[in-house]
């Protein structure tokens, strides 16, 4: 009987500086968000000077026509990019499963490039490509650009779910005479549905929050909400910017939490 060697994992909590460094990182990451949320309820017109509690900036936000147009553009682009990127992610995941290991690793490195390449590089490259092939800047171009960088985000949970599926239902369906189309429709897609929804939510959140690519590709009448917020900051900083940012943060948080819950349930 061969002995089984077990590796003892390193417990990072035993390092003397782990706890203070962790608290410092959390403080550095989340204090700015807390500041934005708190000062969105500031009655003063100057964003950095607190007077007293007020919700007037939220009411002003809801009656801001320019902000509403920017929000509609973000939602239209987000929904279109989410549908396209999720469909392409499902097809890519199914294709990667059938490829050999070397080819699959190479294809995944190409598809997942937007996860590691600086977005400013992708934005400049996308803008140059659109100008070269005469794709008009605006809603249509932004949908294409958002679809491209949302595909790897939608693919992550789908690919992970495919790796966890048991082959028994597929073999049983094949033994019973089901063809590939029937197996895909009745077994594969239902088993992948939580991961597909999770990937779609993640892609939607990434699209809604994107600024750099939207800033480069946007044209007249296609300003998105992040680009609109940036324009407000360049002119004057009021608590209305904090109110809009808080609403966007709340929306993104709800989407990401929903994606996390779906991932937990599928396990």
pLDDT tens digit string along 73-102? 999 999 999 999 999 999 888 887 776 666
pLDDT of residue 76: 93
Helices (H), the chain: 18-39, 56-62, 65-98, 101-111, 119-132, 139-164, 168-175, 180-183, 189-209, 212-217, 225-235, 239-266
Position 151 scores a pLDDT of 92
Residue 9: its pLDDT value, please? 59
100: helix, strand or coil: coil
Evaluate if pTM is beyond 0.95.
no
How is residue 22 written in tokens?
């962790």
Candidates 223, 235, 231, 215; CA nearest to 70 is 223
Task: Please tell me the CATH code under which domain 64-266 is placed.
Answer: 1.10.3720.10
Annotated domain spans of the chain: 64-266
Q: Identify the bridge partners of residue 42 per DSSP, sorted by sequence position.
A: 53
Determine contact, residues 176/117, Cβ cutoff 8 Å: no
Model pLDDT, residue 1: 41
Instruction: Supply the pLDDT for residue 142.
Output: 93
> Low-confidence residues of the chain, pLDDT below 50?
1-6
Q: Is the dihedral of CA 144, 145, 146, 152 positive or negative?
A: positive
């Amino acid at each position: 009987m061969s002995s089984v060697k077990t590796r003892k994992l390193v417990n990072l909590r035993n390092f003397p500086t782990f706890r203070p460094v962790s608290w410092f990182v959390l403080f550095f990451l989340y204090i700015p968000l807390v500041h934005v949320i708190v000062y969105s309820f500031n009655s003063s017109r100057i964003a950095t000077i607190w007077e007293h509690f007020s919700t007037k900036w939220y009411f002003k936000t809801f009656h801001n026509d320019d902000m509403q147009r920017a929000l509609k553009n973000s939602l239209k682009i987000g929904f279109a990019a989410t549908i396209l990127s999720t469909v392409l992610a499902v097809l890519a995941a199914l294709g990667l499963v059938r490829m050999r290991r070397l080819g699959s690793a190479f294809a995944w490195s190409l598809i997942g490039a937007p996860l590691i390449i600086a977005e400013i590089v992708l934005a400049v490259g996308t803008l140059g490509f659109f100008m070269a092939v005469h794709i008009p800047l605006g809603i249509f171009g932004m949908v294409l650009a958002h679809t491209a960088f949302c595909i790897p985000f939608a693919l992550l949970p789908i690919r992970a779910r495919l790796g966890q599926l048991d082959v028994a239902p597929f073999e049983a369906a094949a033994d019973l005479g089901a063809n590939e189309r029937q197996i895909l429709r009745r077994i594969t897609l239902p088993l992948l549905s939580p991961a597909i929804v999770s990937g779609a939510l993640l892609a939607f959140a990434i699209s809604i929050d994107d600024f750099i690519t939207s800033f480069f590709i946007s044209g007249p009448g296609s300003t998105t909400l992040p680009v609109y917020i940036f324009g407000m900051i360049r002119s004057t900083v009021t608590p209305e910017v904090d109110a809009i940012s808080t609403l966007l943060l709340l929306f993104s948080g709800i989407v990401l939490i929903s994606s996390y819950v779906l991932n937990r349930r599928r396990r």
